[in-house]
Chains A and B, each alone.
Chain A
Amino acid sequence: MRLLALLFLLISSIHSFAQECNNTLNGTLLDIHDGSVLTGATIVVTQTGVAAQTDLDGNFTINFLCESTYQLQISHPSCSTKIFTVTIQGKTQKTFKLEHHLELLNEIIVDGKTTNRATKSIYENLVDQQTITTYSSGSLGDALNSISGVSSLNTGNTVVKPMINGLHSSRVLIINNGVQMQDQEWGAEHAPSIDINSVGSLKVIKGAGALQYGGSAIGGVIVASAPKVPLLDSLYGRTILSSSSNGLGGVVSSSLTKSYQNGLHVSVQGSLKRFGDFNAPNYNLSNTGVFERNISAKIGFNRIDYGVEAYYSLFKNEIGILRASHIGGAEDQVRALGSLVPTIIKDFTYSIGNPRQDVTHHLGRIKGFKDIENIGRISLQYDYQQNNRLEFDIRRGSNSGRASLDLVLDTQTLTIDVATEISEKLSAKFGVVGGLQTNYANPETGIRRLIPDYDKYSFAGYASGDFTINQKWVLEAGLRFDYTHINVFKFYRRSFWEDRGYDSQFSDLVIEEYGNQLLVNPKLDFYNPSLTIGTKYSFGLYKLFANYSMSSRAPNPSEQFSEGLHHSASRIELGDLQFTSETAHKISLTLQKRGERFYFTVSPFATEIDDFILIEPTGIRQTIRGNFQVWEYRQINAQMYGLDLDASLSLSDNMRFVHQFSLVKGYDKTSNEPLISMPPASTLNSLVYTNPGFKNLSIAIQSNYVFRQNEFPNTNFEVVLPESIEYIDISTPPAGYHLLNLNLTAAINPDMKVGLYVDNLLNTSYRNYLNRLRYYADDLGRNITLQLKYNY
């Protein structure tokens, strides 16, 4: 009601008459290089001394101007100050551009932030470099977890897979430096192959609204960007040293950039992360160490209206998987679940034994852009990625050093984008993307291929545009179409092929028979349209975002071709060759208030997904190795809705209270059951004290409460053992838990910053519903991290 009254007042207060000196200037301030908005800039009218500041969208307003010519002095912490001349005629609207730099040279004194929005009608969550730095010894997933509505599906504490509003894996696209990551993201226990220390900023777009990135982002898009390079002669760098008590390890990360006024720039960055076994409050988590090595280099020539850049990064990560989680059939499962502590606990060690993962990811990219008058900016990008995933299991004899899984995924993509401003109010983007992907499963493992060999060809085109009707309203719409052709060579076990009835349906797909195995060559085509339409309405301190998007996703190879025992889950997983694409419809709203002392965003959403692919238990299979639960992928209709809330209240000049709350509910409409692995409701409350006057000190106490997930499908099962019938409870979620964290940062001098971070301050024992190893061990105990950051 109050909102309506406010709306009414706002609308009725619009004046249609103009007096001599009653003109308004509405300006927008952009970065000259990439058009990102510049927030927190100061605009001073030199003749009158009247000043204004740009808001989070880079907008500012100056009232009571006469119809005359003024000089504006615009300054921003990360840009050179510049004087603009502007002629006021009635209600005037103008865009100003500043050259953005310096921010990197001294982050400590900089409060201004730059944002480059991918959509106009979806509120985008951001993680800035300062926050990312606090996660330098963690992972990308850990940093993303700081955003409301973003949680993670974990395998232990080092494999952290981001989840947006309850969706993950193939439903979340990750864009790393403009390249869509192709790192076998289909697997729930595959973490993104990105070094958190190479990331300058992170952006999360919940839902599929950002069509230039892809149409299959039913969950959303995560955009990781490298830090910007200034256009001036400079040599600078940064080194982070961090050391943690839990896992007795740390991280060294360094970067060095040389830039020239003429636009040439060269950067190198590398990091090394090493941890031994982590520990839960009461015991060592045997075989959970991690050894990560990354390096990246960039060279570019960047001018205002054209530029080229080459980038290469190598990510190599070796991760130990909790020894006690590697088990046989239901009998071992009974034992593991019945035990209060992991069934295997050894002494602390840095060495990583089996089971473990060893992932290597190469990413190379060349891109260029040119601004062409009357057309706009044309960009061309080619990227190549190679992802090699090795997984080692517990094996007998000479096989124990041999990988059980060895997949090489090669992806090449060519992208052409055009961004154009048709008029001051109407801008458009369109582009085409072609891709080629090859998966090779090395047969030398001596274990049947989990993911078959395939070649995938994809082609997509998109167009999107936004129209600024007036100061208050912006409309946005976009369309995309993806075509995918996949040519697969898959070995099926004859028994499975016949059991599924494929022998009568698809006998013509069989190209070779080898004893009890059949070589099958399916060639599948998928056509996936997606669209988005939305608006943004600004009124006073408030903004309202509303968006509808439809997206569709072709099934991934894991959903289609899984067929066998999945060791880390101790279950048999079966895919289906006949799956169709899933289609999602999502409506999302965000109401934002940005007051001086009080700020909030509230974002409710509702999603309906037709032909949603999920995996659920369908029975027990008796094998010579014991009984295993059979999980089959199925297509159902799903419905999800929820709410993300962020709020911040200034209690005094130095004290701030920050609140976050996330809730998501998901249902299988086909069976009217809750969806499995939905994040439980959680709330994060922090008290933050900052004192820029004293060593830039910041102290934050954070309370994180995760509720128990009360809605879950019952997937428990009974198993007949020689001497008993056991009931195996694998679905009941663990209890809710509360964690206290403490963050303390200070600047010893402008270039040197120290941080002390204590996670799980009270050393609470807990288990996380979204951790796949929750059956076997508690989550991490107290961890104290000391971090030193040096800018030079």
Chain B
Amino acid sequence: MKTLQLNSITNFKFQTMKTMKTMKRCSMYALLAIAMIGCSDDDAAPLPVNEEEVITTVILTLTPESGEEVVLTAIDLDGDGPGELVTTMSGSFSESTQYQGAVRFLNETETPAEEITDEVLEEADEHQVFYTTTEGLNIQTTYEDQDSQGNPLGLQITLTTGAASEGSLTVTLRHEPVKPNDGLDSAGGETDITTTFDVTIE
């Protein structure tokens, strides 16, 4: 059974015969005979929607008391579009060093970029940032900030390195997790951000 397929060739009618189109449209309205919508020549083009809540960028800045700062950055400018997620790190960690860490979440589809970190801070009770590492990577993190209930938030942390090693560090932002919790596995909630960095301690 081969089908009767009339539409495949004529699927696309480009902007030719514009006057005829307009006439056709007008006659269609006339057919409908009810003056609910007028007959307009040009349709008002809609405006784009700039997504305000999208997080495009995660920046984790780790500052040691002395020595070089380490900045981990993840950028995905088109959100869930096909564009690649790009992660970069400015350098490697030093052995047995304490770093003060601060994480920022940005929406760079807007100019200037919107600081989503502020929203997370405002709703600290409903958020928590988790830092997890793969086995063998000698990194310990501790929370340095709390929400109004005294539960950890995770925008400010201390990161302590041990002996030289390699592995990955994952930053996860959860919305509406169970608080308090014993870590990511029991936290529940919805993942807003999860991004993994390959890191080394030298």
CB distance from B148 to the nearest CB of A (A): 15
User: How far does the Cβ of B163 sit from chain A's closest Cβ, in whole Å?
Assistant: 20
Q: Which among A329, A445, A529, A565 is the interface contact of B4 at CB below 8 angstroms? A: A529
Shortest distance in angstroms between B34's beta carbon and chain A's nearest beta carbon?
Answer: 7
The answer to whether A628 and B43 touch across the interface, beta carbons within 8 angstroms, is no
Q: How far is the CB of A514 from chain B (nearest CB, A)?
A: 5
Residue of B nearest to A481 (CB): B6
Residues of A within 8 Å of B15, CB to CB, are 508, 523
Q: Mark B74-89, 1 if CB is under 8 A from A, else 0.
A: 1111111111010000
Bound Cα distance A134, B97 (Å): 72
Among B24, B34, B82, B85, the most chain A Cβ lie within 10 Å of the Cβ of B82
Q: Convert A443-464 into 0s and 1s, putting 1 for each residue whose CB lies closer than 8 angstroms to a CB of B.
A: 1011111000101010100000
Q: Does A493 contact B (CB under 8 A)?
A: yes
A412 and B34 contact, CB distance less than 8 A: yes
Spot the interface stretch: B62-70, B138-146, B184-192: B184-192
B51 at the interface (CB under 8 A from A): yes
A500-543 vs B, Cβ < 8 Å mask (1 yes, 0 no): 00000010110110111101011111111100000000000000
Which residues between 319 and 334 of chain A lie within 8 Å of chain B, taking CB atoms?
326-329, 331-332
Which B residues touch A515, using CB under 8 A?
A: 109
Which residues from chain A contact B134 at a C-beta distance below 8 Å?
722-723
Report which of B14, B76, B123 forms a contact with A523, defined as CB distance below 8 A. B14
Contact with A along B29-72 (1 / 0, CB 8 A): 10111101100000101111111110111100000000000000
A564-B81, A580-B5, A624-B76 known; 9 new pairs, CB 8 Å cut-off, are A331-B194, A397-B119, A453-B46, A489-B46, A509-B14, A581-B5, A623-B79, A624-B79, A625-B191
Instruction: Report which of B13, B29, B43, B56 forms a contact with A624, defined as CB distance below 8 A.
Output: B56
Interface residues on B, range: 35 or more
Quick check: A723 and B132 within 8 Å, CB to CB? yes
Question: A425 in the interface, Cβ–Cβ < 8 Å?
Answer: no
User: Contact at B80–A621, with CB atoms within 8 Å?
Assistant: yes
Q: What A residues does B135 contact at CB under 8 A?
A: 723
Q: A326-B190, A436-B29 are in contact. Are A580 and B76 (CB under 8 A)?
A: no
Q: Is A260 an interface residue (CB 8 A)?
A: no
Distance A509 CA – B122 CA, assembled complex (angstroms): 43
CA distance A511 to B6 in the complex (A): 28
CA A340 – CA B30 in complex, angstroms? 59
8 A-B residue pairs with CB within 8 Å: A328-B190, A414-B33, A453-B46, A455-B43, A491-B49, A495-B78, A527-B7, A528-B7
Check: B158 CB closer than 8 A to any chain A CB: no
CA distance A485 to B79 in the complex (A): 32
Looking across the interface, which residue of chain A has its beta carbon closest to that of B29? A436
Report how far A529 CA is from B6 CA in the complex, Å. Answer: 8
Cα–Cα, bound, A506→B12 (Å): 10
Question: Closest Cβ of chain B: how far from A403's Cβ, in Å?
Answer: 13
B176 within 8 A of A: yes
Contact B12 A496 (CB under 8 A): no
Chain A residues whose C-beta falls within 8 Å of the C-beta of B191 in the assembled complex: 327-329, 331-332, 625-626
Tell me the nearest residue of chain B to A723, going by C-beta.
Answer: B134
B residues 174-202 near A (Cβ < 8 Å) are 175-176, 188, 190-196
- Kindly state whether residue A617 has any CB partner on chain B within 8 Å: no
Q: Which of A443, A523, A608, A722 contacts B49 (CB 8 A)?
A: A443
Tell whether A470 is near chain B: CB-to-CB under 8 Å. Answer: no
Over the window 160-178 of chain B, the binary record of Cβ atoms lying under 8 Å from chain A Cβ atoms (1 yes, 0 no) is 0000000010101001100
Contact B13 A621 (CB under 8 A): no
Q: Please pick, from A446, A487, A527, the residue contacting B10 in the complex, using a CB distance under 8 A.
A: A527
- Report the minimum CB–CB distance from A660 to chain B (whole Å): 31
Q: Which residues of B contact A512 (CB under 8 A)?
A: 45
Which positions 584-642 of chain A face chain B at CB distance < 8 Å? 585, 608, 610-611, 621-626, 628
Contact A344 B4 (CB under 8 A): no
Q: Is the CB of A624 within 8 A of B33?
A: no
A580 touches B81 (CB 8 A): no
B149 within 8 A of A: no
- B190 with A610: CB separation less than 8 A: no
B105 to chain A, nearest CB (A): 9
User: CB of B8 within 8 A of chain A?
Assistant: yes
Q: Flag if B3 contacts A624 (CB, 8 Å).
A: no
> Does any Cβ of A come within 8 Å of B11's Cβ?
yes
A329-B191, A529-B4 given as contacts; is B78 within 8 A of A384 (CB)? no
In the assembled complex, the Cα of A8 lies from the Cα of B132 at a distance in Å of 81
A516 to chain B, nearest CB (A): 6
Question: In the complex, which residue of chain B has the Cβ closest to the Cβ of A452?
Answer: B46
B28 within 8 A of A: yes
Q: Does A742 contact B (CB under 8 A)?
A: no
Residues of A within 8 A of B52 (CB): 399, 446
The answer to whether A572 touches B170, judged by C-beta atoms less than 8 angstroms apart, is no
* Shortest Cβ distance from A517 into B: residue: B48
Instruction: Known A394-B176, A443-B49, A723-B134; judge A436-B28 contact (CB<8 A).
Output: yes
| In the bound complex, CA of A329 to CA of B120 (Å) | 19
Q: How far is the CA of A295 from the CA of B78 in the complex (A)?
A: 44
CA distance A505 to B143 in the complex (A): 52
Q: Using Cβ atoms and an 8 Å threshold, which residues of chain A touch B28?
A: 434, 436, 457, 459
Q: Is A689 among interface residues, defined by CB-CB distance under 8 A?
A: no
Whether A47 sits at the interface, judged by CB under 8 Å, is no
B11/A525 in contact, CB under 8 A: yes
Bound complex: CA A608 to CA B82 (Å)? 34
The CA of A506 and the CA of B74, in the complex, are separated in Å by 32
B21 proximity list for chain A (CB < 8 A): 523
What residue of chain A has the Cβ atom nearest to residue B127's Cβ? A396
Contact between A508 and B49, CB atoms less than 8 A apart: no
A581 to B134, CA, bound (A): 50
Say whether B43 contacts A394, CB under 8 Å: no
Chain B residues positioned under 8 Å from A436 (CB to CB):
28-29, 32, 37
Instruction: Report how far A524 CA is from B81 CA in the complex, Å.
Output: 25
B50 cross-chain contacts in A, Cβ below 8 A: 446
Cβ contacts under 8 Å, A373 to chain B: none
Task: Given A343-B188, A524-B13, decide whether A564 and B80 contact each other with a Cβ distance below 8 A.
Answer: yes
* B7 in contact with A344 (CB, 8 Å): no
Cα A720 to Cα B45 in complex, Å, equals 42
CB-CB < 8 A to B11: which residues of A? 524-526, 578, 580
The one of A445, A489, A611, A623 that contacts B80, using a Cβ cutoff of 8 Å:
A623
| Contact yes or no, A457 B25, CB < 8 A | yes
Tell me, in angstroms, the Cα distance from A180 to B29 when the chains sit together.
19
CA of A515 to CA of B31 in the docked complex: distance in angstroms? 41
Q: In the complex, what residue of chain A is closest to B126 when comparing beta carbons?
A: A396
Task: Assess whether A337 is interfacial by the CB under 8 Å rule.
Answer: no
- Contacts A443-B47, A624-B85, A626-B191 given: A722-B4 contact, CB under 8 Å? no
Residues of B within 8 A of A722 (CB): 132, 134, 168, 170, 196
B36/A412 in contact, CB under 8 A:
yes
Interface contact B49-A448, CB-CB below 8 Å: yes
- Interface residue A583 (Cβ < 8 Å from any Cβ of B): yes
Q: Does B194 contact A625, Cβ atoms closer than 8 Å?
A: yes
Interface positions of A from 377 to 407, Cβ below 8 Å from B:
382, 384, 394-397, 399
Flag if B82 contacts A495 (CB, 8 Å). yes
Check if A153 is an interface residue, CB within 8 A of chain B: no
A511 vs B78: C-alpha distance when bound (angstroms): 21
Q: Which residues of B contact A723 (CB under 8 A)?
A: 132, 134-135
> Does A554 lie at the interface of the complex (its beta carbon under 8 Å from any beta carbon of B)?
yes
Are the CB atoms of A489 and B43 closer together than 8 Å?
yes
Chain A residues with Cβ below 8 Å from B46 are 441, 443, 449, 453, 489, 491, 519
| B7 A526 Cβ-Cβ under 8 A | yes
Tell whether, in the assembled complex, residue B109 and residue A344 are in contact, meaning their CB atoms are under 8 Å apart: no
CA distance A572 to B81 in the complex (A): 9
| List of A residues within 8 angstroms of B188 by Cβ | 335, 343-344
Q: Which residue of A lies closest to B33 (CB)?
A: A414
A396, A489, A506, A554: the one within 8 Å of B175 (CB) = A396
Please measure, in the bound complex, the distance between the C-alpha atom of A565 and the C-alpha atom of B194, giving whole angstroms.
Answer: 16
| A434/B32 contact (C-beta < 8 A), A516-B78, A525-B10, A625-B192 known | yes
Q: How far is the CA of A565 from the CA of B76 in the complex (A)?
A: 14
Measured between C-beta atoms, what is the minimum distance from A515 to chain B in Å? 7
